[in-house]
Amino acid sequence: MNRKHIALSLAVVIVLTVSGCGSRSVKLNQRTESFTDTSYEQPASEEAATSQAVSEVNRGSLNYSEAPELSAKVGDGSLPAVDSRLPIKEDVFIAQTDATGNALEIGEYCGNCNMQGVSGSWGIARPVLESIIRYNCDGSYVPNVIKSYEANEDYTEWTFKLRQGMKWSDGDDFNADDITFWYYMVHINNYDTKASWEALKDNETGEFAVLKKVDDYTVTWKFDTPKYPGAFIENGDLKWCWAPSHYLIDLIPASLYVENEYWENTGLSDGQVLANAAAKGMSFESVADLGKNACYYFWNVSGIPTVNSFVLSTEEGHNSKSSEICILERNPYYWKVDAEGKQLPYFDNIYMFNELEDKTAAFANGELDYMDVGMEQIGSMLSELGDAAILKTVLGSSWGADQLTFNYTCKDKNYADLFANPDFRQAVSMCVDRQEISLRISEGFMRPGQCAPSTGSMGYDEEWSKKWTDYDFASAQKLFEGCGLKLGSDGYYHFADGSDLSIDFVSLEGNADTIYSALKRYFDSAHLKTTLTDYDTETYDQLIDDNDWIASMCPHMDAGGLSLSERAAAFVPIAQAAEWYGEYGTYYTDHSLGVAPTGDMEKLVEYYEQWINTADSAKRDEIASSIYELHKNNLWSIAYVEGANSYCLINPKFHNFANKLVSNDLYQYMNIYHFETLFKK
């Protein structure tokens, strides 16, 4: 697909001089919040790597090599030779570029990559997970774990070709049986808890695709009606479609069996399955917990084979994501090499330190090579670390930080009619001084903006980014009154019928406390009565699902994002998902429920159905632009500052760590760094 390339324009620049281990001059780009260290000179080898054109590798002449620790195991007979651990030369993945398209430097095998601990169920997966396709920062993508994919002429059948000779991390063959096993024994029976994924269901009938094994390295997915790329290969949920059948076969309960032509019912009771899991070191109270963890969050379970670049250690004390030092070990059967045939990854291990008391000190003395930092920490940390760190800016993709939105399907017609009036939304936007808000919530780091694609992002439009952003109190007053609002004796606006008007914002667990405290005095000055109530996630979601809310601040799902491919439900009302369209989304999933969209909301749905049912990439981009235009015209959600970038510090000895990477769920956040190609020199 054609994508607008990330382009950073240098605007107003503040120069910060910081001292530490050598004085450094650091420039803060106010337009993009990107920092440039002007004292750091790129090594000649890095410079050459980014300027060289990528040349085609002669696969037949590749001579494979491996890390010294693996050579030692080959020598003592505990590991097969490298040639037998990799796919055949025609099918091996050759890593030549980073996610921005720059040529990679040929690396050196090195020690460990040391980083701070990560949180959440996805934490340790981010640097290592391998997916069906791999995205670049411009939205293009290439086959990754699979060798190739193609659709038939009418898009009712997709064919996946696998890499012949590819192995699981324990050395067992990775082939079509692992695809059929995942699909029929793990997925469509909901053992992995993800049977709701739409990518593998027919768009019209809702029936699961028919998966066929053609041969050991070929499978097909057959649908009743056309399944175009946006609904299948580009669907963000469909990250993988395999599981290690040789390892998990005795962990599948008979109670969940779905009839299929490839796998027989295991005949195992729930108790037998849990006992088998315990024998493999897994302790779960129910088969439901076992299935979710072993078949979905598998990277967190020590001992389960994967095709990832690094796998969770089996060493006691280091084999849990919450271990004091969680260790991810090099996958000796990893199926990627560099342009000279060196088997990746270059690092021996990734060490994640979960209980560091002073991360800055740890970075300074070399205990950490990578650390995420908040924008408010940058100045002080660079001052303290001096030449021991390089700051990297990772571009965000959100349409403005701390969005607020209204319930356009509110049960109270007074509110629903008011929110539908664009003059009300314009007034709410213009009654606030964004410069002051930026200073209060981010010390001026976050640029004033709107709920719109940020600079350099897909769909960026300067006019859109500035729409309704001028601080104009008098105009806001006129707009409020033009909506029929009447000033009451209490000093706040009321509805025309005299009933109270109070914009009661709901929020998740304190997420909106800072922005609301900054906004409230402006709302009060504009005679707009507001409140903020925090809820736990379960209660909040129930309020949204029951349509018992008026407005939301820092919603669960923002409007917009990277692209429709990332998560279409953030752009169009097609699910009970995003607050900004409320019950319009519920209606899409079940016409007996929710509220039927009208006007531009209805147009969003019409455009989406054209987009999802179109194969031509240029046409899909054109349709996506129409969806963006509707958002620009309506501004259903309001933001007061641009979406934030994220920042990290890396060891100056790091190589192949690209600039201008994009952090996004579709790109799996940290996965876009390509840890398997990083090395220290």
Asked if residue 414 and residue 349 are part of one domain, the reply reads no
152 and 260 in a single domain? The answer is yes
- How far is the C-alpha of 502 from the C-alpha of 551, rounded, in Å? 10
CA distance 303 to 315: 10
Residue numbers of the domain that contains 545? 404-638
Mean pLDDT confidence for 54-69: 94
The mean of the pLDDT values for the chain is 90
Enter the pTM of the model.
0.83
Q: If you average pLDDT over residues 55-84, what whole number do you get?
A: 96
Q: Which two tokens stand for residue 208?
A: 């699961």
CATH number for the domain that contains residue 461: 3.10.105.10
Q: What mean pLDDT is predicted for residues 488-505?
A: 96
Note whether 358 and 462 are same-domain residues.
Answer: no
Amino acid of residue 575: A
Do 551 and 504 meet the contact criterion of CB atoms below 8 Å apart?
yes
For range 234-239, the mean pLDDT: 89
Pick the residue with more confidence: 378 or 338? 338
Tell me, yes or no, whether 32 lies in a domain.
Answer: no
Q: Residue 43 — pLDDT band, cuts 50, 70, 90?
A: very low
Tens digits of per-residue pLDDT, 134-186?
A: 999 888 899 999 999 999 999 999 999 999 999 999 999 999 999 999 999 99
Token output for 472: 């104009």
Question: pLDDT digits over 552-563, tens only?
Answer: 999 989 999 988
CA angle 566, 571, 573 (to 5 degrees): 120
State mean pLDDT over 496-509.
96
Residue 264's pLDDT band, with cuts at 50, 70 and 90, is very high
Confidence of residue 343 (pLDDT cuts 50, 70, 90): very high
DSSP character string of 74-93: HHTTSS--HHHHSPPTTT-E
- Contact between residue 86 and residue 165 where contact means Cβ atoms under 8 Å apart: yes
One domain, residues 613 and 668: no
Q: Are residues 627 and 665 in the same domain?
A: no
Find the length of the chain. 681
Please provide the distance, in angstroms rounded to a whole number, between the alpha carbons at the two ends of the chain: 36
Q: Is the pLDDT of residue 34 over 60?
A: no
Residue 180 and residue 315 share a domain: yes
Which phi and psi angles does 437 have, rounded to 5°? -60, -45
Do 278 and 155 lie in one domain? The reply is: yes
Give pLDDT tens digits for 272-327. 999 999 999 999 999 999 999 999 999 999 999 999 999 999 999 999 999 999 99
Q: 457 lies in a domain?
A: yes
662 and 613 co-located in one domain: no
Chain segment 429-487, per-residue pLDDT in tens: 999 999 999 999 988 878 899 999 987 678 899 999 999 999 999 999 999 999 999 99
pLDDT confidence bin for 26, thresholds 50/70/90: very low
| 77 within domain boundaries | yes
Q: Are residues 409 and 551 in the same domain?
A: yes
Tell me, yes or no, whether 162 lies in a domain.
yes
Q: Is the pLDDT of residue 419 over 60?
A: yes
How many distinct structural domains can be found in the chain? 2
State the pLDDT at residue 52.
54
- Looking at the fold, whether 622 and 665 belong to one and the same domain comes out as no
**Residue 87 placed within a domain:** yes
Whether 28 shows a pLDDT value over 70: the answer reads no
Are 479 and 617 contained in the same domain?
A: yes
Question: How would you classify the pairing of strands 493-494 and 486-487?
Answer: antiparallel
**pLDDT above 70 for 19:** no
Asked, for residue 444, whether it belongs to a domain, the answer is: yes
- The answer to whether residue 353 is domain-embedded is yes
**What value, to the nearest 5°, has the Cα angle with vertex 295 and ends 290 and 299?**
100
d(CA 273, CA 255): 11
Nearest-angstrom CA–CA distance, 174 and 185: 17
- Range 535-551 average pLDDT: 94
Q: Are residues 335 and 415 in the same domain?
A: no
Phi–psi pair at 131, nearest 5 degrees: -120, 175
Over 70: is that where the pLDDT of 46 sits? no
**Residue 387 within a domain:** no
Domain harbouring 97, CATH code: 3.40.190.10
Quick check: 119 pLDDT over 70?
yes
* Contact assessment for residue 194 and residue 237, using Cβ atoms and an 8 Å cutoff: yes
Q: Is the pLDDT of residue 20 over 50?
A: no
